[in-house]
Structure 1
Amino acid sequence: MKSLRARLAADPNIGAGNVLATVLAHGADPDGPGLTFDTAVDHYPAEHPLTLGELDDRVQARTAWLHERGIGRRDVVAIWATEAKDIVLSFLALTRLGAIPALLNGKMAPPIAEEYIRRLRVTAVLADAAHKPLLHTDVLAEPKDLGTDPAKAPEHYRHHRDDPIAITHTSGTTGVPKAVMHTHTTLYAALKHLLTMPQAQGTDRILNALPIPHTATILMVNQVLGNRAEMLLLSSQDAPTVLRQIERWKPRAVYGFAVTWSGLAREDLAKHDLDSVRMWFNTGDCAHEPHIRKLVAVGTREIVTRDGRTTVRGSHFVDGLGSSEMGHNGFHITHTMESDHYGRCIGKPYQFAEAAVLSSTGEELPSGKVGLLGFRSPSVSPGYWNDSVNTYRFRLNGWFLTGDLVYRDVTGHYFHLDRVPDAVAGFEGPQLFTSMSEERILAALPEVVDCTVIIVQENGEYVADVLLELAADAPEADRTAAVKAAVGDEVAAIIRRVSVVGEDDVPVTVTGKVRKVALREARLTGARA
Structure 2
Amino acid sequence: MKSLRAKLAADPAIGTGNVLATVLKYGADPNGPGLTFDTPVDHFPAEHPLTLGELDERVQARTAWLHEHGITRRDVIAIWATEAQDIVLSFLALTRIGAIPALLNGKMAPPIADEYIRRLRVTAVLADANHRPLLETDILAEPRDLGQGDPAKAPQHYQHHADDPVVITHTSGTTGVPKAVLHTHTTLYAALKHLLTMPQAQGTDRILNALPIPHTATILMVNQVLGNRAEMLLLSSQDAPYVLENIERWKPHAVYGFAVTWAGLAREDLSNHDLDSVRMWFNTGDCAHEPHIRKLVAVGTRETVTREGRQTVRGSHFIDGLGSSEMGHNGFHITHTIDSDHYGRCIGKPYEFARATVLSSTGEELPPGKVGLLGFRSPTVSPGYWNDSNTTYRFRLNGWFLTGDLVYRDDTGHYFHLDRVPDAVAGFEGPQLFTSMSEERILAALPEVDDCTVIITPDNGRYVADVLLELSADALDRDRTADVKAAVGDEVAAILRNVTAVGTGEVPVTVTGKVRKVALREARS
TM range (shorter): over 0.9
* Structure 1 partner of 2:92: 92
Deviation of residue 488 (structure 1)?
Answer: 0.3
Deviation of residue 197 (structure 1)?
Answer: 0.6
Q: CA–CA distance in 2 between the matches of 1:245 and 1:468?
A: 29
Do residues 139 (structure 1) and 109 (structure 2) align? no
SS at match of 2:60: helix
SS at match of 1:504: coil
* Structure 1 partner of 2:403: 402
Q: How does 1:225-244 map to 2 (within 5 A)?
A: 225-244=226-245
Residue 104 of structure 2 aligns to which amino acid in structure 1?
L
Do residues 222 (structure 1) and 218 (structure 2) align? no
* Structure 2 partner of 1:184: 185
* Structure 1 partner of 2:284: 283
Deviation of residue 135 (structure 1)?
Answer: 0.6
Q: CA–CA distance in 2 between the matches of 1:502 and 1:244?
A: 23
* Structure 2 partner of 1:73: 73
SS at match of 1:56: helix
Q: How does 1:258-277 map to 2 (within 5 A)?
A: 258-277=259-278
Q: How does 1:88-487 map to 2 (within 5 A)?
A: 88-147=88-147, 148-487=149-488
Deviation of residue 471 (structure 1)?
Answer: 0.1
Q: CA–CA distance in 2 between the matches of 1:36 and 1:298?
A: 25
* Structure 2 partner of 1:5: 5
Deviation of residue 505 (structure 1)?
Answer: 1.1
Residue 481 of structure 2 aligns to which amino acid in structure 1?
T
1:8-49 per-residue CA deviation (whole Å, 9 max, x = no partner) reads 000000000000000000110000000000000000000000
Q: CA–CA distance in 1 between the matches of 2:500 and 2:136?
A: 41
Residue 197 of structure 1 aligns to which amino acid in structure 2?
M
Q: CA–CA distance in 2 between the matches of 1:206 and 1:388?
A: 37
Deviation of residue 369 (structure 1)?
Answer: 0.1
Residue 304 of structure 2 aligns to which amino acid in structure 1?
I
Do residues 32 (structure 1) and 32 (structure 2) align? yes
Deviation of residue 307 (structure 1)?
Answer: 1.3
SS at match of 1:33: coil
Deviation of residue 237 (structure 1)?
Answer: 0.5
Q: CA–CA distance in 1 between the matches of 2:212 and 2:112?
A: 18
Q: CA–CA distance in 2 between the matches of 1:145 and 1:68?
A: 13
Deviation of residue 487 (structure 1)?
Answer: 0.3
SS at match of 1:41: coil
Residue 305 of structure 1 aligns to which amino acid in structure 2?
T
Structure 1 residue ranges without an equivalent (≥5): 525-529
Structure 2 residue ranges without an equivalent (≥5): none
Q: CA–CA distance in 1 between the matches of 2:116 and 2:244?
A: 33
TM-score of the two chains, using structure 1 as the length reference:
0.99
* Structure 2 partner of 1:527: none
Deviation of residue 479 (structure 1)?
Answer: 0.4
Residue 113 of structure 1 aligns to which amino acid in structure 2?
A
Q: CA–CA distance in 2 between the matches of 1:382 and 1:65?
A: 30
Q: CA–CA distance in 2 between the matches of 1:184 and 1:504?
A: 38
Residue 140 of structure 1 aligns to which amino acid in structure 2?
L
Residue 417 of structure 2 aligns to which amino acid in structure 1?
H
Q: CA–CA distance in 2 between the matches of 1:326 and 1:479?
A: 38
Q: CA–CA distance in 2 between the matches of 1:344 and 1:504?
A: 24
Q: CA–CA distance in 2 between the matches of 1:266 and 1:185?
A: 39
Q: CA–CA distance in 1 between the matches of 2:175 and 2:492?
A: 24
Q: CA–CA distance in 1 between the matches of 2:208 and 2:289?
A: 21
1:270-297 per-residue CA deviation (whole Å, 9 max, x = no partner) reads 1100000000000000000000000000
SS at match of 2:362: coil
Q: CA–CA distance in 2 between the matches of 1:308 and 1:64?
A: 53
Q: CA–CA distance in 1 between the matches of 2:107 and 2:300?
A: 31
Deviation of residue 145 (structure 1)?
Answer: 1.0
* RMSD, aligned CA: 0.3
* Structure 2 partner of 1:15: 15
SS at match of 1:293: helix
Q: CA–CA distance in 2 between the matches of 1:199 and 1:466?
A: 42
Q: CA–CA distance in 2 between the matches of 1:426 and 1:229?
A: 47
Deviation of residue 343 (structure 1)?
Answer: 0.1
Residue 10 of structure 1 aligns to which amino acid in structure 2?
A
Deviation of residue 253 (structure 1)?
Answer: 0.0
Q: CA–CA distance in 2 between the matches of 1:498 and 1:137?
A: 44
1:503-525 per-residue CA deviation (whole Å, 9 max, x = no partner) reads 1210000000000000000001x
* Structure 2 partner of 1:43: 43
Residue 233 of structure 2 aligns to which amino acid in structure 1?
L
SS at match of 2:416: strand
Residue 4 of structure 1 aligns to which amino acid in structure 2?
L
Q: CA–CA distance in 1 between the matches of 2:479 and 2:523?
A: 24
Runs of 4+ off more than 2 Å: none
Q: CA–CA distance in 2 between the matches of 1:347 and 1:136?
A: 45
Deviation of residue 186 (structure 1)?
Answer: 0.3
Deviation of residue 355 (structure 1)?
Answer: 0.1
Identity among equivalent pairs (%): 87
Q: CA–CA distance in 1 between the matches of 2:353 and 2:390?
A: 27
Q: CA–CA distance in 2 between the matches of 1:343 and 1:143?
A: 44
1:174-232 per-residue CA deviation (whole Å, 9 max, x = no partner) reads 00000000000101000000000110000000000000000000000000000000000
Deviation of residue 306 (structure 1)?
Answer: 1.1
Q: CA–CA distance in 1 between the matches of 2:251 and 2:188?
A: 29
Residue 479 of structure 1 aligns to which amino acid in structure 2?
R
Q: CA–CA distance in 1 between the matches of 2:39 and 2:506?
A: 31
Deviation of residue 502 (structure 1)?
Answer: 0.8
Q: How many residue pairs were aligned? A: 524
TM-score of the two chains, using structure 2 as the length reference:
1.00
Deviation of residue 163 (structure 1)?
Answer: 0.1
Q: CA–CA distance in 2 between the matches of 1:419 and 1:281?
A: 21
SS at match of 2:172: coil
Q: CA–CA distance in 2 between the matches of 1:99 and 1:149?
A: 19
Residue 284 of structure 2 aligns to which amino acid in structure 1?
T
SS at match of 2:125: strand
SS at match of 1:381: coil
SS at match of 1:201: coil
Q: CA–CA distance in 1 between the matches of 2:299 and 2:136?
A: 48
Q: CA–CA distance in 1 between the matches of 2:505 and 2:373?
A: 32
Q: CA–CA distance in 1 between the matches of 2:412 and 2:393?
A: 32
SS at match of 1:108: coil
Deviation of residue 459 (structure 1)?
Answer: 0.3
